[in-house]
Structure 1
Amino acid sequence: MKLSALLPFARLLCVTTLVAASAAQAQQVLNVYSARHYPSDEILYAGFTKKTGIQVQRVDSDDAGIVARLRAEGAASPADVILMVDAARLWRGESMGLFQPVKSAVLDAAIPATLRGAPDAQGASSWYGFSTRARVVVFDPAKVKREDVDTYEELGDPKNKGKLCLRSGSHPYNLSLFGAVLEHMGEAKTEAWLKGMVANLARDPKGGDTDQIRAVASGECAIAVTNSYYLARLMHSTKPEDLAVADRVQVVFPNQASWGTHVNIAGAAVAKHAPNRAGAIQFLEYLSSAEAQEVFSDANNEWPAAKGVKVNNSALQRMGGSNFKSETIPISAVGGNSLKVQQMLDRVGFK
């Protein structure tokens, strides 16, 4: 065959090789949009790269920023994985069609069904929880008896009038707690409970969870609600003032004799238009591994979501380790109650 006849084939081979090389190169990058702002997550990204060879490129924002960016980018979005904290936020992303369902035997074996998005007809879920945090009650033992704050219901009881500190009722952490209570108690009783908490406030809602703990320690109030990892951070602190706050308060895991303590999640999803879908699923499966689950626990004071992973974090152990009863209602149902809860908050004047 003449050289001139071979040239078109050579050009085709060259183009095909370049396309294949470009595709292979793309597969070695994973674009993660993350609403988690914890330095410890760098350990997770490094561990995934070491295991798979896939480099992680991360975009940090808050949940609202991620949602806005995904909607603006549409089908052209380079996002492969979305990381969010809180069930209500994950539910909202799912309801807006920003995620795609994933069916993975590895994920199904590791992550309990209650910590996943609602399954579709094929049993696939749009998101998975990879760490949990309990919504606990901290109190001043000099002013309050443990038995008067060992259920969420008692936060709205008149016996605790003027003692309660909370962050904004509309914050997702509280929306999820209130959404869980709605599942347990129904609409009428939940709204009455929210009204009771407003009546029991020692001050208008303000600040974050750590501020509520500090307010109990300072005597501004006697009872507060917080995610467990905020208290654990104070326990692990090297600052004497933080350790003094942690020593000043006590913690209770509510509703141990009934439905169990509310737990929320940090979770992840594969983006709707993920260019590297296979790598995204690999990343989610890595997050469910014992190696990654121990990072969530040891480095960021969260409880592992995967089955059978032991907790070695000293602060979590001090609070009770994993030896507490947690509620078993699906997290997806909790997130779905957000709108109803917000309407209740507006009616009872919970800021």
Structure 2
Amino acid sequence: MNFSKLIKPFLVSTVLTIGLAGCSSTNQTDSKGEDEASKPKTNENQEVNIYTARHYEVDEEIYKKFTEETGIKVNVVKGEAEELIERLKREGASTEADLFVTVDGGVLANAKQNDILQPVSSDIINKNVPENLRDVDNQWVGLATRARIIAYSKDRVAPEELSTYEDLTSEKWKGKLLVRSSTSLYNQSLLASFIELNGEEKAEQWAKGIVNNFARQPDGGDRDQAKAIAAGTGDIAIMNTYYVGLLANSEDPEEVKVADSIGVFFPNQETNGTHVNISGIGLTKHSKNKENATKLIEYMTSVEAQEFMSANNYEFPVNPNAKKPELLESWGDFKMQELNFDTLGEHNKKAIEIFNKTDWK
């Protein structure tokens, strides 16, 4: 199969500012001191300022394309989500940030609860993004989704053996299950969804059953779980779909082999559907460039930008008119969990308590 060239995601552990220098339409890293570099500059009607917890090169490329088409500069401050939320609270009306971008529905709910966002109004956005992938009060808009699926060894597991998340606690998977740590937002939101759908007691029973079936103590990220399947450490893993795409299209032949050795299974198709998490963007409460910010959201949810993002980061597009890359198409359609993403934030604290109680490290 032919795939689009991979644009690798990268992580930034400290806050960086990426500005557009002079008349250039290319984002460049500011080399000034911390106080100067971490504050985006403003130029009325000519730019938009973003605080983002999405650290993907594909986003940078989309910002560049937006600038080329509109002439509006995009200045970016990067950091961890909770850090950026606290910064927006601290800065208040003096903030230069126009947009907040992050992964995870629970984090988006947290941002909303902390009163750092305001409703965004746009018929174009409403047309681009279905209602179920937008906040009920329009305080954030979905940019992309990823499903938390069961990856399995094609050599040692038949897909007919798989069914639901609940079945992963059965005796047949004893010592065969791989998953990352409970500190992962992806796992916290997965468990939060179970709390919402099944109640706290059943959610705790599930977490305990998963711990009992660990092939090893949680270690590394989702890609590491896939690599552990290929190495024979375990037979199945809970992981996000887009990591499979990144492995399959890696420049490292060994990672491509890993992707070739695992299958993708969407659980709970006969019950309440596969858990899906979301990346989203919100207009900050004290945006100084509201019109430009709205234009950027409209662009990022357009068919063009959605197809580019999906083809290079292997996330599912939120715009239903955007075509998916061949790999994602090959997995077919699947039933998604139906719940309000706000509930992921509401149940986050309880999910962490359950993880601690069940010794999910």
- Tell me which interval the TM-score lies in, with the shorter structure as reference length: 0.7 to 0.9
> 1:135-154: per-residue Cα shift (whole Å, max 9, x none)?
11111233333233331111
The CA deviation at 1:289 is 0.9
Higher helix share: 1
2:42 aligned with 1:47, yes or no?
Answer: no
Q: Note if contact 1:111-1:128 (Cα within 8 Å) is conserved in structure 2.
A: yes
Give the aligned partner of residue 193 of structure 1: 206
2:125 aligned with 1:107, yes or no?
Answer: yes
The CA deviation at 1:25 is 4.1
Alignment of 1:59-98 (within 5 A): 59-98=77-116
Give the aligned partner of residue 16 of structure 2: none
Give the aligned partner of residue 258 of structure 1: 271
Give the whole-Å Cα distance in 2 for the aligned partners of 1:118 and 1:348: 34
Give the whole-Å Cα distance in 2 for the aligned partners of 1:109 and 1:304: 14
Out of 283, 287, 307, the residue aligned to residue 270 of structure 1 is: 283
Out of 349, 353, 356, the residue aligned to residue 343 of structure 1 is: 353
TM score, norm. by length of structure 1: 0.87
Give the whole-Å Cα distance in 2 for the aligned partners of 1:115 and 1:151: 24
> 1:170-214: per-residue Cα shift (whole Å, max 9, x none)?
311111111222222222211111110011111111210001110
The amino acid that maps onto 1:223 is: I
Out of 95, 102, 127, the residue aligned to residue 140 of structure 2 is: 127
Give the whole-Å Cα distance in 2 for the aligned partners of 1:44 and 1:144: 39
2:264 aligned with 1:246, yes or no?
Answer: no
Out of 131, 138, 157, the residue aligned to residue 151 of structure 2 is: 138
Out of 306, 311, 324, the residue aligned to residue 293 of structure 1 is: 306
Q: Note if contact 1:297-1:304 (Cα within 8 Å) is conserved in structure 2.
A: yes
The CA deviation at 1:327 is 2.0
Give the whole-Å Cα distance in 2 for the aligned partners of 1:147 and 1:188: 28
Q: Note if contact 1:100-1:270 (Cα within 8 Å) is conserved in structure 2.
A: yes
Q: Which region of structure 1 is more displaced relative to structure 2, 215-224 or 329-338?
A: 329-338
Identity %: 39
The CA deviation at 1:231 is 0.7
Q: Note if contact 2:145-2:276 (Cα within 8 Å) is conserved in structure 1.
A: yes
2:218 aligned with 1:205, yes or no?
Answer: yes
Runs of 5+ in structure 2 lacking a partner? 1-41
Q: Note if contact 1:85-1:267 (Cα within 8 Å) is conserved in structure 2.
A: yes
Give the whole-Å Cα distance in 1 for the aligned partners of 2:93 and 2:360: 39
Q: Note if contact 1:236-1:315 (Cα within 8 Å) is conserved in structure 2.
A: no
Give the aligned partner of residue 163 of structure 1: 176
Q: Note if contact 2:174-2:213 (Cα within 8 Å) is conserved in structure 1.
A: yes
Give the whole-Å Cα distance in 1 for the aligned partners of 2:212 and 2:155: 22
TM score, norm. by length of structure 2: 0.84
Q: Which has the larger radius of gyration?
A: 1
**Structure 1 residue matching 2:57: 3-state secondary structure:** coil
Give the whole-Å Cα distance in 1 for the aligned partners of 2:158 and 2:199: 28
> 1:294-321: per-residue Cα shift (whole Å, max 9, x none)?
112112111111122221x132233x14
The amino acid that maps onto 2:80 is: D
> 1:21-60: per-residue Cα shift (whole Å, max 9, x none)?
xxx9412110111111111112211222233221101111
The amino acid that maps onto 1:326 is: M
Q: Note if contact 1:148-1:154 (Cα within 8 Å) is conserved in structure 2.
A: no
2:182 aligned with 1:172, yes or no?
Answer: no
2:234 aligned with 1:216, yes or no?
Answer: no
Q: Note if contact 1:141-1:250 (Cα within 8 Å) is conserved in structure 2.
A: yes
Give the aligned partner of residue 316 of structure 1: 328
Out of 123, 136, 142, the residue aligned to residue 118 of structure 1 is: 136
Give the whole-Å Cα distance in 1 for the aligned partners of 2:320 and 2:260: 31
